[in-house]
Amino acid sequence: MIRQSLTPLSALLALIVTIVWGTNFVVIKVALSHLPPLTFAALRFTFVALPAVLFFKRPRVPLWNLAAYGLLIGVGQFGVLYIAMQSLISPGLASLVVQTQAFFTIGMFMVFGRERIKGFQVVALALAASGLGWLMAHVNADVTALGLGLTLFAALCWAAGNTVQRAAGPVNTVAYVVWSSLFAVPPLIGLALFVDGWPAVSAGLAHASAGTWAAVLYQSVGNSLFGYAAWAWLLSRYPAAVVSPLSLLVPVFGMATATMVLGESLASWKLTAAALVLSGLALNTLWPMWRRRRLAAA
């Protein structure tokens, strides 16, 4: 049965997921203090796939679809994001910029799904683009031009992954993530050895602390398995229009925890950029809901 409003327990679950996804960026930074970026990505997706693959039946989708999603999300999104977050963009700003995947997803659905862009989406995109432009005008130690570019590329890969997953049709989301992760692990290991280099890989593993391994598990078990499972459960019981807007809290928690835990500054230019990007995301997410309610009340 589809409910039209969240129960208190469901609202709490949704809040926990957004907190996990938002604080995830600080956790990434903690792990990157010991592990090279591609090594970290390889470990994350190894623990997503194993041993969970033994307990989930393979989704009935073509292998190419699983492989494409695994490569786009594992290598393209998180592999590149980890490289950027090592020293090129701060965790708080990364949590904000990567949410532009929503606009890349719209663009891909237009190209491949022949969907038409709507007026409110143009305005939303303009707001978000102006926020990114404001970030570009203030490149410094918190965000470099390369870091912004890599994070936008990670967002593009996330959007491409969304498009591939949509082509798979209705499937068990958690099983899909688990099985597709198998295809992310081999190239990530290969890239880690080639880009990070064996000396850096072995040194990172040797010096990894309990906190580092906890960060890896937080990424794989908390962020991927718990996060996707809980979000899929919510979407199966409530309209997407009720659940999806809550994802706007992710960059809010991301920037807040980066400030509280890592001491990341909240300069006025950051707040301005965040306000513009979040306004674009909010307009893109909330306008269709408001429009439907207005038409239903007419």
What per-residue confidence (pLDDT) applies to 298?
62
- Nearest residue to 130 via CA among 277, 268, 285: 277
The model's pTM: 0.88
Higher-pLDDT residue of 232 and 19 is: 19
Mean pLDDT in the chain?
87
Q: What H or E segment, with its residue span, contains residue 277?
A: helix 268-297
What per-residue confidence (pLDDT) applies to 32?
94
Q: What H or E segment, with its residue span, contains residue 222?
A: none
Query: Domain locations in the chain?
Result: 24-297
Please say if the pLDDT value at position 24 is more than 90: yes
Residue 245 CA to residue 256 CA, distance in Å, equals: 19
